[in-house]
Amino acid sequence: MIQVDARGLLCPEPVVCTQRAVKDGTKELTVLVDAEAARENVTRFAVSRGYDVGVRQEGADYVLTLTKK
């Protein structure tokens, strides 16, 4: 599974990194972010591209699991 580590990046970089990862049709990936705004923006982007998004918090980080519908 592909993992995108976007912790420490300011918006819109987490979305841009996620966009690059799904560009080739990846069916499942994990995105790590450390800000609520990044979590919301990556989630919004992923849903708009047809992914289901699971979110869990690990300390100060969010782990988003994107799965293509």
DSSP 8-state symbol, 8: T
In order of their start, the domains of the chain are 2-68 (3.30.110.40)
Whether pLDDT at 25 is above 90? no
**In this structure, what token pair is assigned to residue 13?**
């970089």
- Percent of the chain clearing pLDDT 90 (strictly above): 90
Query: pLDDT digits over 4-13, tens only?
Result: 999 999 989 9
